A and B are shown apart, each in its own frame.
Chain A
Amino acid sequence: MKPALIIVALIALAALLVPPLLPYDHIAIDWDSVRVGLFADGHLLGTDDLGRDRLARLLVGTRVTLSVALAAAMVALVIGVAWGAIAGWVGGRTDELMMRIVDGLYALPFMFVVILLMVVFGRSILLVFLGIGFVEWLTMARVVRGQVIALKQRPFILAAEAAGSPARATLLRHILPNVAGVAVAYLMLTVPHVVMIESFLSFLGLGVQEPLTSLGILVNEGAEEMDMNPAALLLPGGVLVMLIACLTIAGERFRDRLADAAK
């Protein structure tokens, strides 16, 4: 878990801290050196068709991808935990109804919903992560509901009731802290999934819009010139793969460790 987290942290720190230090930002056009290769004219990774610094664009793209992923995962966390906890805790018909709503939303074709949102509200980065968070919370709700139902039957919950603890206090003091571990583990697995969805949407041109960039857009641009300049595809693609792989590994290790601790 540690090496994977360190790699993610390094990538995230670089994306946050390095861009201001560079001589060019991600939209500045260097008219003197359009489409130059690696290490040319003070551009470490060269420039693209419009003479924009590839390193600055890569770092900013990583930053955008990561922030969209984090924001969407937080949306999923908040809605999913609240929805799942209430359904599992209240039980009965309320639970039935709430989970059937989740099932219904699951059945909607996700791409169709996102495209519809774009058409109705126009393209914006806010919509992208709202749209993604809107889909990701469904699984979170199911995971949390299952946990809450399992916890609800543990005798310490009955003991809390006997101790005179009101239902809301029991939910806040006993149930949610014990769900937290699982929710965090699932959150860590949601982030790489969202990274992938965001990149996919951007690759199709539905996500982040120019001049802002993201890893998905960079991969798309790189794919167009991969025969002449493979680095333009391999660099953003490599960062994307590292992020997804390391976040997934860290998330799975964390989940396994929780499962071991529960034994």
Chain B
Amino acid sequence: MNEGYVVRNLRVCVRDHVIVEDISFTLSPGEIVALAGASGAGKSMSAMTPFGLSAGVASGSAILDGIELVGLPERQLSRVRAENIGFVFQQPLTALTPHRTVRQHLQEAAMQAGGSKPDKTAMVAMLDSVGLSRPEERLAQYPHRLSGGERQRVLIAAALAHGPRYLIADEPVSALDAALRGEIMALLVRLCRERGMAMLLVSHDLAGIEHHADRLLLLEQGKVAESGTARQIATSPATDYGKRLMAATPRLSERLPPLPEMGETLLEAENVHVHFPKPGWGRGRIDAVVDASLTLAKGETLALVGGSGSGKSTLGRAIAGLGSMASGLISWQGEALPLRQRRSAEHRRLIQPVFQDPLASLDPRWSVADIIAEPLRWLVPEAERDDRAADLLEEVGLPRDFATRKPASLSGGQAQRVAIARALSANPEMLLLDEATSALDPLVADGVVALFGRLQRERGLSLLFITHDLALARRAAHRIAVMEAGRIVECAPREELFANPQADATKRLIAASG
């Protein structure tokens, strides 16, 4: 029998649209092959469609251990899936059934290919092998008791419970915290190596997979742009697309790019505390930000880095006057800025935000020109606004005639540029960038980061750059502040932070990003 998974000239159509065309690759037993590329490049479609797990229709050929999957009736395809393959999906929060315990999930998974019901020892061993602490206790727990990383471990244990020879992982770590990503990825690779399993890995995050995969396929708009060993593509990509993709992915090992000079201190935040009441009555409070202090100089970029829930966005919003603040002092050039409700349009002009989700930050009913001119409504007469809006569109690299469009017709990158133009129209001194590039494609995100750099040089802007991506912070920021559990645990110039990290949180983040 021919072992392995061989895909030849795969083509996937959804209704009349060709999503993937002419994709060929081989997955030998024990090998790890990664499909990478921008979103919409057809990575997931290529991986899932031959197994009947997408909306697309496959043609061409996909042969698993000698069985042709394309055109196989659903009943037999389902058998092939159940017996040979384990699947790990992106969303650990929704991939477990809420009313079933971990034990039930594992039993169901182990019995899917006709295996016998596993006993407790076997299930404990499964959980142990995926690095879940206190496995005996976990068996009786429901999914809501587990954290995101723990759920992903349970999902991996379930995917492996029936002893598959192939693992298909669709963005297995993208929804997880930065610090966890490396850990889960290393776990997947270790399990593959130990069991001689082959893995087909789908990911948009090149930096996260290039050390783990044996071979790499870069997809561009449904076609293979480049393929080869991961090492070779990572070090010297042959095609233009490969080069751009590699350059757009920040790494801790890259040379530090130069940054513009900075001026005198503009913003000072001292001893900021933020807390929220816990949901429900009389349950006390959540301390979101505890005693955080920072400064920002003219033309400086300060990165605020930390895991999700570390309080970095909350602190940013408190500084910009967009969130509550229990105590503390925010001052601008030595003069105290009032609390949220008291800030005037002139105060607010100084600090303008750009948010993570570009489409949600534009009012769907407004035209692009009106959106951009919104801050001008309170500062400039109506006749000038449209001209200013069009100028700003040009400044952020969009055509002037975008002014009449509605947000729904914009791509993610274009929408984010419109949001940036709106922030600029207030003529700000400082931008608050709240994960402003993390919802974007690598190439698009790189363009937006470059835009921030240009705006900083041209306008002398100060940037407060909130991100979970340490490598990106290293590339873009003069100084980096690391947050954990609401506290700033370390704040240092970038060279110093990486040369001599002090706090445990910093060390963990560096290890996870490396």
Contacts and interface: CB of A to CB of B under 8 A. Distances in A.
A165 B320 CA distance: 15
A162 interface: yes
B365 A177 contact: yes
B419 interface: yes
B314 interface: no
A163 B426 contact: yes
Given A158-B355, A159-B355, A164 B426 contact: yes
A155 B348 contact: no
Q: DSSP majority for the A interface?
A: helix
B419 A159 contact: yes
A127 B356 CA distance: 52
Contacts of B144: none
Interface string A150-161: 000011101111
Interface string A32-65: 0000000000000000000000000000000000
Contacts, number: 64
A165 B377 CA distance: 8
A158 B321 CA distance: 10
B375 A164 contact: yes
A174 interface: yes
Contact of A155 (B352, B355, B375, B378): B355
B435 to A, nearest CB: 11
B344 A164 contact: yes
Contacts of A159: 353, 355, 361, 374, 419, 422-423
B474 interface: no
Nearest to B323: A158
B105 interface: no
Interface string B338-376: 000000111011011101110011111100000000110
A178 B360 CA distance: 13
A259 to B, nearest CB: 14
Contact of B378 (A156, A158, A164, A178): A164
B189 interface: no
A159 B423 CA distance: 8
Interface residues of B, number: 30
Contacts of B322: 158, 161-162
Nearest to B344: A164
A162 B363 contact: no
A163 B361 contact: no
A164 B360 contact: no
A143 B375 CA distance: 31
A155 B422 contact: no
B374 A165 contact: yes
A155 B426 CA distance: 17
B324 to A, nearest CB: 12
A115 B126 CA distance: 68
A162 B360 contact: no
B191 to A, nearest CB: 37
A154 B365 CA distance: 14
Contacts of B426: 162-164
Contacts of B349: 164
A9 B365 CA distance: 29
Contact of A163 (B346, B362, B364, B422): B422
A165 B345 CA distance: 8
A178 B426 CA distance: 24
Interface in A212-261: none
A156 B361 CA distance: 4
Contacts of A154: 360-361
A177 B346 CA distance: 27
B365 A178 contact: yes
A156 B422 CA distance: 11
B374 A160 contact: yes
Contacts of B377: 163, 165
Nearest to B346: A164
Contacts of A158: 317, 322, 353, 355, 361
Find the residue from A154, A156, A160, A165 having the highest chain B CB count within 10 A. A156
A155 B377 CA distance: 19
A167 B346 CA distance: 16
A212 to B, nearest CB: 42
Interface in A82-138: none
Contact of B353 (A162, A165, A174, A178): A162
Contacts of B423: 159, 162
Nearest to B426: A163
A163 B355 contact: no
Contact of B348 (A156, A162, A174, A177): A162
28 contacts: A154-B360, A154-B361, A155-B360, A155-B361, A156-B361, A156-B362, A158-B322, A159-B355, A159-B374, A159-B419, A159-B422, A160-B374, A161-B322, A161-B348, A162-B351, A162-B353, A162-B375, A163-B348, A163-B374, A163-B377, A163-B378, A163-B422, A163-B426, A164-B345, A165-B374, A165-B377, A174-B363, A177-B365
The 8 closest A-B pairs by CB, nearest first: A164-B345, A155-B361, A163-B375, A155-B355, A164-B378, A163-B374, A156-B363, A164-B348
Interface of A: 154-156, 158-165, 174, 177-178
Given A155-B356, A164-B375, 18 more contacts: A156-B360, A156-B361, A156-B362, A158-B317, A158-B353, A159-B353, A159-B374, A162-B351, A162-B375, A163-B345, A163-B352, A163-B375, A163-B377, A163-B378, A164-B349, A177-B365, A178-B363, A178-B365
Interface of B: 317, 320-322, 344-346, 348-349, 351-353, 355-357, 360-365, 374-375, 377-379, 419, 422-423, 426
